[in-house]
Amino acid sequence: MPSNSIKKNTILNLIKTLGAYIFPLLTYPYIFRVLMAEGVGKYNYAYSIVSYFVLVAGLGINTYAIREGAKIRDDSLKIHTFFSEMVGMSTISTLCAYLLFCLFLFFSSSLADYKMIIIVLSPIIIATAFNFEWVFTIYEDFLFVTIRTFIINVITLGSVFLLVNGKRDVNIYAAIHSFQLIAIMFLNMYYSKKYIQYGISFNIKSHIKPILLLFSMSIAIQIYVNVDTTMLGYYIEDRAVGLYNAANKIYMVLKTVVVAIVTTFTPRLTSHIGVVNKNYNLEQYKKYLNMLLRILILITIPLTAGTCVLSEKIIVLLSGNDYLEAKMSLIILALAIPACCISTCINSCVLILNNKEQKTLIATIVAAIINLVLNFYFIPNYYQNGAAITTLIAEILVFILVICFSGEYKEYFDIRNIMIDTIKGIIGASIITLEYIIISRMITNTFITIGLTFFVAVVSYGLFLITTKDELIWMFLKKKGF
């Protein structure tokens, strides 16, 4: 079993995830100004199309492999057999994805203006299916992933500034993104030999049902993640897609960085739950589960407040004054962060780990259907803000359903401390809001206001948690339990 501490793994995974988004964020101001809203909208509309085929190729294998692989990671024979079977599954799913992709391009004459950029983006289908990121997750090797991410992002960053110089370079921008994911795939293949032996097996019958359940859940998630962009491009115009993307990119960065903490905890939680595990320890499982939930609460509530009060300045800094209309969309999306992150935690660490994928699937399908139906009203009437509203509703609905479905595991949750940390998070959000009001009246420079607000908020909130003797912050500082 890996000896790395949760604290070390969390820090490395956060650095990796931040790097994966901070580097692109450095290019966004440049890209938004060079490609303009129409070019960015065209790119994201094409990407939303390709992402559906990426979904087919991925087939939910990553989530399944982390859950099942973490249970047998100390048994070299079983893990090698398991890996070969996952390669077999990925091969079949990728061939199916490319077959559907070719048929789609052949019969979709209405997408003539997007066909070339869609083709340029298509290599990400195979790059995503065969990146084997789950290997490093189950062995908690976040150091390699962090270093790899940094190197690839430096190369990507330089390529964007060097090669993308005008509105017509949208295909070049797409090619750079494809290259980034292909490079990650090959590096992962090479380094993963440290843990597994390469092979391929089509003895996959026992894996098909649980993987298809997770795949169904992924489809539902993809619907309410990508259908907004697709419908905006269909009903409105590329500019509306670009405006929504300006807000959604920031939302996705914040959400993904927080969810990275869940990814860090998942292998450790998996190793302590399930009667087939030789490391089965329910008390350890409950300890880490509640630690994770409380961390998410303490982070997401103040994060939401900070994003809302700084929304206008963040949009201007990253995208420019032409994207100010995206301010309200960002505020609406930011309100979804706590519900999204906590429901992700309960889904991944309670329902899925206890083989309750069906309940997760039901919650996701219901939310996806509601989101899709509401889009037909909200998008034509409220444009990018309408897309943000339906996303918020979907995330809250998933949260409510997941809480209801996890009721049979209520003994796992430390409700008292969770409620106390919720109150602390709300107080922290109030402190951040007050600090922003004071700072914004004293300073007008956008960059300085964001930087100073962030610094003051982190320090004051940290001091607040320390002075209130918050258990988690003291555990972190003293390295006990982490």
Question: For the chain, how far is it from start to end, CA to CA, in angstroms?
Answer: 16
CB 88 within 8 A of CB 202: yes
Percent of the chain scored above 70 by pLDDT?
Answer: 94
Q: Residue 411 and residue 355: Cα distance in Å, rounded?
A: 17
Quick one: pLDDT at residue 53?
92
Average pLDDT of 237-254?
84
Residue whose entry in the numeric block shows the structure tokens 């084997």? 132
Q: Is the pLDDT of residue 6 over 90?
A: no
Average pLDDT of 327-351?
94
Q: Residue 474 and residue 478: Cα distance in Å, rounded?
A: 6
Q: Please check whether residue 423 lies inside any domain of the structure.
A: no
- State the DSSP H helix or E strand holding residue 207, giving kind and residue range, or none if neither: helix 205-235
Q: Give 433-480 pLDDT, tens digit per residue.
A: 999 999 999 998 998 999 999 999 999 999 999 898 888 777 766 655
Q: Give 368-398 pLDDT, tens digit per residue.
A: 889 889 999 998 888 899 999 999 999 999 9
Q: Residue 472 and residue 461: Cα distance in Å, rounded?
A: 13
Average pLDDT of 7-35?
74
Q: Which tokens hold the place of 65?
A: 């492999």
Q: Please check whether residue 177 lies inside any domain of the structure.
A: yes
- Mean of the per-residue pLDDT values for the chain? 86
Q: Please check whether residue 291 lies inside any domain of the structure.
A: yes
- Read off φ and ψ for residue 355, nearest 5 degrees: 60, 40
Q: Which of 58, 346, 47 is nearest to 225 (CA)?
A: 47
Q: Which tokens hold the place of 67?
A: 């859950």
Q: Residue 39 and residue 31: Cα distance in Å, rounded?
A: 9
pLDDT band at 332 (very low <50, low <70, confident <90, very high): very high
- Read off φ and ψ for residue 59, nearest 5 degrees: 60, 15
Residue whose entry in the numeric block shows the structure tokens 């996701």? 364
Q: Is the pLDDT of residue 234 over 80?
A: no
Quick one: pLDDT at residue 10?
75
pLDDT band at 251 (very low <50, low <70, confident <90, very high): very high
List, in order, residues 6 or more apart from 389 with CB less than 8 Å away.
Answer: 332, 374, 378, 382
Q: b or e along 269-304 (b: 16 or more beta carbons within 10 Å of the residue's beta carbon)?
A: bbbbbbeeeeeeeeeebbebbbbbbbbbbbbbbbbb
Q: Which tokens hold the place of 473?
A: 């912050």
Q: Please check whether residue 337 lies inside any domain of the structure.
A: yes
Q: Please check whether residue 472 lies inside any domain of the structure.
A: no
Q: Which tokens hold the place of 433?
A: 């809001």
Task: Give the other-Cβ count within 10 Å of 393's Cβ.
Answer: 18
pLDDT band at 1 (very low <50, low <70, confident <90, very high): very low
Q: Give 138-159 pLDDT, tens digit per residue.
A: 888 888 888 888 899 889 889 9
CB 368 within 8 A of CB 220: yes
Q: Please check whether residue 466 lies inside any domain of the structure.
A: no
How far lies 476's CA from each of 135, 257, 259, 338, 380, in Å? 27, 19, 19, 22, 48
Q: Please check whether residue 438 lies inside any domain of the structure.
A: no
Q: Residue 374 and residue 397: Cα distance in Å, rounded?
A: 13
Q: Which tokens hold the place of 361?
A: 């699937």
pLDDT band at 276 (very low <50, low <70, confident <90, very high): very low
Q: Residue 210 and residue 441: Cα distance in Å, rounded?
A: 55
Q: Residue 235 and residue 211: Cα distance in Å, rounded?
A: 34
Q: Residue 314 and residue 447: Cα distance in Å, rounded?
A: 9
DSSP-derived letter for residue 166 is S
Average pLDDT of 391-416?
92
Q: Is the pLDDT of residue 282 over 60?
A: yes
Q: Please check whether residue 482 lies inside any domain of the structure.
A: no
Write the single-letter amino acid at 113. Answer: D
Q: Is the pLDDT of residue 2 over 60?
A: no
Count up the domains in the chain and report the number. Answer: 1
Q: Residue 234 is part of which domain span?
A: 6-413
How far lies 424's CA from each of 297, 455, 461, in Å? 9, 19, 9
Q: Which spans in 236-309 are helix H?
A: 238-270, 282-309
Write the single-letter amino acid at 346. Answer: I
Write the single-letter amino acid at 120. Answer: V
